[in-house]
Each structure stands twice: as structure tokens, then as C-alpha cells.
Amino acid sequence: MGAPRRGDGIEPRITVITLAVGDLERAVGFYRDGLGWPTDGIIGTEFEDGAVAFFRLSGGPILALWPRESLARDASLPPGPRSSTELTLGHNLASAEAVDRAFAIAVAAGGTPVKAPRATSWGGYAGYLADPDGHLWELVFNSDLIPD
């Protein structure tokens, strides 16, 4: 059997990141208005547990927001407690100034500041905020990790 290898259909990539949210409309507002990410809004409301919102991100991945209870039912798991320290999502911006601007806009749209942006020990610039459901975001400027 062995480990997956390139070309076998199991390439290492993430195409969709789904975040469980408590209030889908509030979460959509945060990502659309606070981070400025494009979306067609909430779709699938005609299906039981189908309401979801998708955001196409630069570089190809999609961020999906799905009600916490719907995701738990779909996975056949009981809903678990929320925890901001289980996962951090990074939004790498073009400059320290862009981090400051994005941070202020996201907080004004309902994000909770966790750690104000500042110079890092590794030479970058970063701050943390939580979205309305407590998901932890690092707004960062790291020139080594900006995609081509």
C-alpha cells in the first residue's frame, strides 16, 4: 500500500475549509463586510441542514460556513464545545500597513481583537482576532509565505 505519491490522485492540497458557525447570517456578514471576501451569500436553504455560504479565496481554496448543528449531524457526531485554540487560520497580507487596515475593518465588522498587530520575533508583522464564532484568525505579513 505505502504512502500517497504525486500522480496517484491523492495530491496534498486543501480545496475547502469549512468552519462551523453559530449564526450563519452574522458569520457571512463578518467575512463579507469585515474581511471583504466575495460570496453569493447563503444558499441551500431549501434543504434540511443545507444552508451554507461559500467564499472563493485567491489561489483556489474555498471557505465554507455551515451551521454548527448541521455540520455535526452531517458528520454523525454530537456537537462539541467551541474552542478558539484548536485551529488558527492565517490571512497573509501584502504589508504591515495592510494588516493594520484589515484588522481595524474586521474588528469594526464584529471581530474580537485578541492580540493587536505588532512586529514579530521572526521579522514579520501579525495580530490575532476572533470571528463572531470564536475562530482564531492571524492577520499577518510574512513575505516568505505570500503565494506567487
Q: Which domains does the chain have, with CATH numbers?
A: 16-72+82-145 (3.10.180.10)
Phi-psi category of residue 7: left, alpha or beta, with phi > 0 → left and psi -120 to 50 → alpha = left
pLDDT digits (tens, 9 = 90+) for 73-124: 888 889 888 887 778 898 999 999 999 999 999 999 999 999 999 999 888 9
Q: Which of 13-17, 42-46, 68-72, 138-142 has the lowest mean pLDDT?
A: 13-17
Cα 97 from Cα 55, distance rounded (Å): 24
Q: Give pLDDT, residue 87.
A: 81
Q: Give pLDDT, residue 41.
A: 97
Dihedrals phi, psi of 104, to nearest 5 degrees: -65, -45
47 DSSP assignment: S
Q: Give pLDDT, residue 59.
A: 86
* Residue 105, CA distances (Å) to 77, 88, 111 in order: 35, 19, 9
Q: Give pLDDT, residue 139.
A: 94
Burial per residue of 81-100, b for 16 or more beta-carbon CB atoms within 10 angstroms, e otherwise: eeebeeeeeebbbeebeebb
Average pLDDT over residues 51-59: 93
Q: CA quadruple 106, 145, 86, 32: dihedral positive or negative?
A: positive
pLDDT digits (tens, 9 = 90+) for 2-46: 555 666 666 777 789 999 999 999 999 999 999 999 999 999 999
